[in-house]
Amino acid sequence: MPPAIETVDLVKEYGDLRALQELSLTVEEGEFFGLLGPNGAGKTTFINTLVGLVRKTGGEARVFGHDVESEYQEARDAIGLAPQEFNVDRFFPIKEVLQHKAGYHGVPEAEAEKRADEVLKRVGIYDKRNERFDWLSGGMKRRLLLARALVTDPDLLILDEPTAGVDVQLRHDLWELVTELNDEGTTILLTTHYIEEAERLCDRVAIMNEGRKVTVATPDELKERGTDTISVRLESSVSTSVAADLETDLDAYAHEVSTAGDTLEVRVDDGGSTAPRLLNDLEARGYEIADLEISRTSLEEIFVDMTRSEDRTVTRSSASSADEGTDTDTDTGADDGAVETEQEGVA
Amino acid sequence: MLSVGFRALFRREVLRFVRRPKNTFMPPAITNVLYFAVFGVILGGRIDEPVEGIGYILFLIPGLVVLGTISNAFENASFSIFHGRWNEYIHETLTSPLSYAEMVVAYVGASAVRGLIVGVIVAIVGRLFVPISVENGLFLVATMVVIAALFAGFGIIGGLVARDFDDLTVMNQFILRPLVFFGAVFYSLTMLDTIWQYVSLLNPMVYMVDSVRYGLLGYSDMHHVAPAGYAEFAPYASLAILSLLTAVVIAIDVYLFKIGYGLTD
């Protein structure tokens, strides 16, 4: 079975601006895949390339093995898209909007009406079925976008920031619904700014920045790439000069040592396995330890580290010079080499 | 071609204008009552028959039918495409598995239907003022379908190239209407000096109005003013050329959809 999404060296240029840079990504059938990245990272451009709203400049893109340009009908038939924008037909009541959309996908009229009712019930706005889109509240509009994506019974559901600006209850409702869909076998591609959302829902996530893929990993793998902080409270306070001395002494495993009153904070790769050694080293140096706490780097901090870079516009010329000098996928601005970059086309 | 998807889009497009008669059918009905009342009854009563045996009101009807048909076909297609682009709901169509040809034919077909309905409304309004008998029914229907589709096809291009609503107004008011008004709607080409007759032959609207007039009244200016050799077959030659032009315009529409002109980034 071909992957749900497969892109190879996908490029999109807007004049001199490169929105996607040799992006190679694979999403397997049945996966719940997250696409993370700051604004302007190219997430929506990537999605729109798959559904035909953006024409690629180069590379390949396939949906369930169908090329998005030469076999666009098959590719589009497999996709249900809930976009960021409220791009809904304002002329008709929402139920008819859904019937039309199902019809465009070849669903006969009677079946389309039945499906429209079903998805409106599923997203919880059935009682608004005769209203026009403009009369719905913000949360209901978001639900309708999801209903419209579902009415065609897609094999691949693409959700472009579906929970942006929605209240907590709706966010949880949406999470529950998309999890159900994924459990039923629908492949899901989710873009989001909310790290918690990706961590909670996704089997794997890709982090994008400036049109490039920075990395692809499971949320747990990503978190393992971050550093931990061991906070050691001592019986007596320590001076700041001690921190510098300790950083030298503990150089073998400590990335950074800082002090705050009677607490030492030591940043290490793996807090759990390093803590006993740290305690021994401190006791050997005469420190009396009162308490110890280990905190892991959050996925959000890792994400920020990975996407931290200079504010620069990527152009064809700058991309070319980057290509000449370095591997494109490694030019990520990632911190301290902590990010394991993807060298292969397949994630 | 008549897939479920095509029928769904065609139906949606037709429902959009059918459910808004106040915006789509009432204005041309009222406008044409005024045309017939003022130009036909009040002024027309003082004007000699432009063509022997055909009174002025009767002479007006084919031109006004054409004017109503093509302007509504154009307006419907251009509005539908542009409004869909403006509010981005055309994405519902663009992200569907419909082929580009199906999309275009559905938009063109529905807009042509609106144009034809308005054409019939104008004819009915005209019938209130003067009896009409159709002389060449099949030819009339064929010509009406072709010109409605042609201007729906032009409307698609208009909707794709427009950058704002003003552009649509400009196309309708400053291009379409002048060509129609100088297209022998209100006068016969035989009333013009020879030089203006030849200048008029450069206006494509002249052929459309003349063909519809031939279909409805059995009279064609072309039989009198067109160059010898063409004059004899004029209405049929016009229909053939217009059919070819319509096919070319629709092919251009499909091409523009395929490359995503005005539709995709």
DSSP A45-65: HHHHHHHTSS--SEEEEEETT
DSSP labels, A186-237? -EEEEEES-HHHHHHH-SEEEEEETTEEEEEE-HHHHHHTS-EEEEEEESS-
More reliable by pLDDT, A141 or A344: A141
Q: Where are the domains of chain A?
A: 5-78+154-223, 227-296
Using 50, 70 and 90 to split pLDDT, how confident is the model at B210?
very high
Checking if the pLDDT of A291 tops 70, the result is yes
Checking if the pLDDT of A340 tops 70, the result is no
Q: What pLDDT does B1 receive?
A: 53
Q: What pLDDT does A317 receive?
A: 53
CA B99 to chain centroid, in Å, comes to 26
In this complex, do A77 and B97 lie within 8 Å of one another by their Cβ atoms?
yes
The mean pLDDT of B46-74, rounded to a whole number, is 86
In this complex, do A54 and B259 lie within 8 Å of one another by their Cβ atoms?
no
Checking if the pLDDT of A4 tops 80, the result is yes
Distance from CA of A38 to the nearest CA of B (A): 21
The mean pLDDT of A210-231, rounded to a whole number, is 85
Per CATH, domain A5-78+154-223 is 1.10.1060.10: no
Q: What pLDDT does B64 receive?
A: 93
Checking if the pLDDT of A125 tops 80, the result is yes
Separation of alpha carbons A300 and A24, rounded Å = 24
Q: What pLDDT does A332 receive?
A: 33
Distance from CA of B16 to the nearest CA of A (A): 7
Distance from CA of A279 to the nearest CA of B (A): 59
The residue in chain A having the minimum alpha-carbon distance to the alpha carbon of residue B103 is A104
The mean pLDDT of A260-282, rounded to a whole number, is 87
Give rounded-to-5 percent helix, strand, coil for chain A: 40, 25, 35
More reliable by pLDDT, B159 or A241: B159
Q: What would you measure as the largest C-alpha separation in chain B, in angstroms?
A: 59
Which chain A residues are within 8 Å of B97, Cβ to Cβ? Answer: 72-74, 76-77, 104-106
Q: What is the pTM of this model?
A: 0.84
The mean pLDDT of B245-253, rounded to a whole number, is 97
CB A338 within 8 A of CB A227: yes
The residue in chain B having the minimum alpha-carbon distance to the alpha carbon of residue A152 is B96
Which chain B residues are within 8 Å of A106, Cβ to Cβ? Answer: 3-5, 97
Checking if the pLDDT of B178 tops 70, the result is yes
Separation of alpha carbons B188 and B172, rounded Å = 24
**Fold topology of A227-296:** Alpha-Beta Plaits (3.30.70)
Q: What is the pLDDT of residues A300-314, one digit of tens each?
A: 777 777 776 544 444
The type of residue at B90 is: I
Checking if the pLDDT of A338 tops 70, the result is no
Q: What is the pLDDT of residues B78-133, one digit of tens each?
A: 999 999 999 999 999 999 999 999 999 999 999 999 999 999 999 999 999 989 88
- Whether B163 has its CB under 8 Å from any CB of chain A: the answer is no
Which chain B residues are within 8 Å of A79, Cβ to Cβ? Answer: 95
Checking if the pLDDT of A336 tops 60, the result is no
In this complex, do B92 and A87 lie within 8 Å of one another by their Cβ atoms?
yes
Checking if the pLDDT of B55 tops 90, the result is no
- Whether A106 has its CB under 8 Å from any CB of chain B: the answer is yes
Give the SS3 label for residue A92: coil
Give the SS3 label for residue A42: coil
As a whole number, the mean pLDDT across chain A is 85
- Whether A53 has its CB under 8 Å from any CB of chain B: the answer is yes
Residues 6+ apart with CB under 8 A from A244: A257
Checking if the pLDDT of A73 tops 80, the result is yes
Separation of alpha carbons A102 and A98, rounded Å = 6
Separation of alpha carbons A153 and A176, rounded Å = 18
Q: What pLDDT does A74 receive?
A: 97
Nearest by CB to residue A100, choosing from B12, B91, B95, is B12
Q: What pLDDT does B222 receive?
A: 84
Q: What percent of chain B has pLDDT over 70?
A: 98
Separation of alpha carbons A69 and A48, rounded Å = 12
Nearest by CB to residue B97, choosing from A53, A88, A105, is A105
Q: What pLDDT does B63 receive?
A: 92
Q: Which residue has the tokens 């509005």?
A: B79
Q: Which two tokens stand for residue A315?
A: 């152009």
